[in-house]
Chain A
Amino acid sequence: DAGVTQSPTHLIKTRGQQVTLRCSPKSGHDTVSWYQQALGQGPQFIFQYYEEEERQRGNFPDRFSGHQFPNYSSELNVNALLLGDSALYLCASSITGGANTEAFFGQGTRLTVV
């Protein structure tokens, strides 16, 4: 089992550009959540996808959008990049459910906006 895989691992983009990050969930998982982690901070919840729909969203602008495919993999898109978007972007997968849901994380994509 490959666990959660994210690509690319590192990325440098210019302010104003657009970026797409990718995530493949752990086998058997149907829910994908995305987090942004600035240096020295805890992960901030961006949104969660289940059954190809955005189910939950954190306090992020519409520049942040996503998609989930029928195979449960997911993409995070960020438009009109700002310097402040530089961060580690983490993807987590889980099985949708109640009190015993454990999330598994990928190694993250380090995005640097210059």
Chain B
Amino acid sequence: SQQGEEDPQALSIQEGENATMNCSYKTSINNLQWYRQNSGRGLVHLILIRSNEREKHSGRLRVTLDTSKKSSSLLITASRAADTASYFCATYWNTGGFKTIFGAGTRLFVKA
């Protein structure tokens, strides 16, 4: 089963609104990363938060991590039509070697 699970599965908002996506995971992690994917193309790395960090910012992106609840959230402020994409969280963890495991993603639709 997936290590990370995103919620909601899909989100539709108006341009200028904020979008919040959540991710839950199951085991201890080294870091958690958020990626964006446009129309089934390659994934673009957005932000990485380490297990000892609680919050991180990058431009209009804000990521939080709560290791006690095994959850993370991605906030996109002042959304734009160009933010329309699928967003995935990925957990990087040691299972006898390191690998990055993805959730099923949140599909964000930003209407102009």
A binds B: yes
Residues of chain A whose beta carbon lies under 8 Å from any beta carbon of chain B: 4, 33, 35, 37, 39, 41-45, 48, 55-56, 58, 88, 90, 92, 96, 98-108, 110
Docked-complex contact B42 and A42, CB < 8 angstroms: no
**A–B Cβ pairs within 8 angstroms, 11 of them:** A41-B105, A42-B2, A42-B103, A56-B99, A92-B43, A98-B30, A98-B98, A99-B30, A101-B92, A102-B48, A104-B45
Docked-complex contact B45 and A103, CB < 8 angstroms: yes
The answer to whether A90 and B42 touch (CB under 8 A), given A55-B97, A98-B30, A100-B48, is: yes
Q: Within the assembled complex, what's the spacing in Å between the Cα atoms of A90 and B96? A: 23
Number of interface residues of B (CB under 8 A): 29
Docked-complex contact A56 and B102, CB < 8 angstroms: no
Closest to B98 in A: A101
Q: Within the assembled complex, what's the spacing in Å between the Cα atoms of A39 and B50? A: 30
The answer to whether A100 and B50 touch (CB under 8 A), given A90-B43, A106-B42, is: yes
Docked-complex contact B100 and A107, CB < 8 angstroms: no
User: Chain B contacts of A41 at CB under 8 A?
Assistant: 104-105
- The yes or no answer to B68 lying at the interface (CB within 8 A) is no
Closest to A58 in B: B99
Docked-complex contact A103 and B33, CB < 8 angstroms: yes
0/1 interface trace, chain B 72-106, chain A, CB 8 Å (1 if under): 00000000000000001010100111111111110
User: Chain B contacts of A106 at CB under 8 A?
Assistant: 42
Query: How far does the Cβ of A86 sit from chain B's closest Cβ, in whole Å?
Result: 12
Query: How far does the Cβ of B51 sit from chain A's closest Cβ, in whole Å?
Result: 7
Q: Within the assembled complex, what's the spacing in Å between the Cα atoms of A4 and B41? A: 13
Docked-complex contact B48 and A105, CB < 8 angstroms: no
Docked-complex contact B45 and A45, CB < 8 angstroms: no
Q: Within the assembled complex, what's the spacing in Å between the Cα atoms of A56 and B95? A: 9
User: Chain B contacts of A4 at CB under 8 A?
Assistant: 42
